[in-house]
Structure 1
């Protein structure tokens, strides 16, 4: 494998559509209020992409240091594990991505707010927290991903903060009901992580990586997955029935069969390669969910 291909594999491009779903959902909600800002969409998307890539690279780096990436692992082969990319090279790439995320985030604040306010400072702190969280998932003395807290991180940063934060950057205003579609994306994103952890259950347990799946076991993890997907749809249902008339996302119902199929597969088949495919399918189903929501703009 050449070096360029190795880096492309490490970037885990298939995770990027899921990350963008948060930005797109917040932007769709803002557009429904005629408060859409194209520059906000552009720089929010870039910031999120850099954060997602940083998280992916940090995950490789941390798992390589801890030994979680080993011969027992069932998912796609990691490049540090294969010896194609060194720990030093990966660390440098992490620093570059962190700097790019910071720069994009600062530009995002500049295009979102006409004047310097306390809100900008709050968003700056949230941005720095996002960078730290992306790294600390598997890196450091007590990475939270090894203590079963990864699901909470994904729900907060790729759900509530990602969607509601994007809405606020577009509109410079707040509406509590936006937290409902934000929660939907958060639950679906946590479902993607849950599938990843179910796939890696054996190797994670043997290497001392105590994800939530390792703690509760395979059978309960399947029911937990059902709960995440059901909660996501429950949240969007509450939104559609309780939101103002000019804030509706009803076309998303056409994506429901794909989510049902995903849940049934988790209960039906425990093969790692099957779950790896479902991880990708749930990511794309979430993106479809968001794309369908945009149909209300036409």
Structure 2
């Protein structure tokens, strides 16, 4: 149960939302292999677990996860596991993640396609390093207000664009509307997390975008992320519209807007914690509804 707690299962649906979206777009382009899909999903899950282990380790070793911190308690913070044991789990996750990426790439590309194979293995290595360096080690980028950039890139651009390319071996302009939408909403989840932790992060010297902006401006930033992402999603759906069913993913916009209203209204740090999980699940819901609509359209 300790390792399950360290893995933070509630973060896993968000980690695969971009993958599901990219594969749904591939269905529309008649370039879908279920084996590549499932391998990509498993790889993303392993990378997310690696990131969660590393985040627990990094914040725990730096003293950021202290008694004043709001939100779920971490395993290192509670001394449920030793730093050495947790670091061993990080290394194992790195190895498993790389071999999962290798299996996915081997399935997606012909043995002679060296350029694509090396490119995606290189991206896997970058993802592994980024997962670790978010809060762990010297110069952790999460402590220098760069977490938002990396989340947008990995959860949006790379997840949607990369998974689409693995299936179709090409990139199309319209996929970036969906990549921006998932990436922007995922960044909004991180922003909520950082608003919740703002006071403690400032106290221990962790610089996040929310900490730099302050509560009022962080809320404005959050509105821009959410509304910009909804706009991007809508444009992407319009571009591929094939009947009313195409717009089913927009059903998830309603709970997202309700959560946005709560974000604007709340003032107490701890109140923001209750908004993180619903927003993450709403993003996952968008990806699942989009996958369902593309399957239905294919069967028409």
Normalised-by-shorter TM-score class: over 0.9
Q: What residue is the counterpart of 2:175 in the other structure?
A: 178
1:32 aligns with 2:5: no
SS at 2:56's partner residue? Answer: helix
For the residues of structure 2 that align with 1:270 and 1:170, how far apart are their CA atoms? Answer: 45
1:54 corresponds to: 50
User: Which residue of 277, 292, 295 corresponds with 2:289?
Assistant: 292
Structure 1 residue 243 displacement after superposition: 4.1
Q: What is the TM-score of this pair, normalised by structure 2? A: 0.94
- Unmatched 5+ stretches in structure 1: none
- After TM superposition, list the pairs within 5 Å mapping 1:115-130 onto structure 2: 115-117=111-113, 118-130=115-127
1:268 positional shift: 1.2
Match of 1:201 in 2: 198
For 2:152, the equivalent position in structure 1 comes to: 155
The question of whether the paired residues in 1 share the 8 Å contact of 2:178 and 2:232 is answered with: yes
> Over residues 229-258 of structure 1, what are the superposed CA-to-partner deviations in whole Å (9 max), with x where a residue is unaligned?
111111112212334759x94211111111
Is the contact between residue 180 and residue 239 of structure 1 (CA under 8 Å) also seen in structure 2?
yes
CA contact (8 A) 1:251 1:295 kept: no
Give the structure 2 partner of residue 107 of structure 1. 103
1:74 aligns with 2:65: no
Mapped to 2, the partners of 1:33 and 1:163 lie a distance apart of 14
Structure 2 unmatched ranges of 5 or more: none
Matched, 1:132 2:129: yes
Preserved CA contact (<8 Å) 2:234 2:250? no
Retained in 2: the 8 A contact 1:72–1:202? no
Moved more, 122-131 or 171-180: 171-180
Q: Report the Cα distance in structure 2 between the residues aligned to 1:214 and 1:244, rounded to whole angstroms.
A: 40
User: Hey, what's the Cα distance between the residues in 2 that align with 1:106 and 1:295?
Assistant: 28
Equivalent of residue 211 in structure 2, options 210, 214, 219: 214
Aligned residue number for residue 42 of structure 1: 38
Q: Please list the CA deviations of residues 76-113 of structure 1 after superposition, one character each: whole Å capped at 9, or x if unmatched.
A: 11111111111101100000111110000000001101
2:83 to 83, 87, 100: 87
Q: 1 CA distance for matches of 2:163 and 2:188?
A: 22
RMSD over aligned Cα, in angstroms? 1.4
Q: Distance in 2 between matches of 1:120 and 1:47?
A: 15
State TM-score, norm by structure 1.
0.95
Aligned residues: 293
Give the SS at the match of 2:135.
Answer: coil
- Residue number among 11, 23, 29 corresponding to 2:7 in the alignment: 11
- Tell me how far 1:35 sits from its aligned partner: 1.3
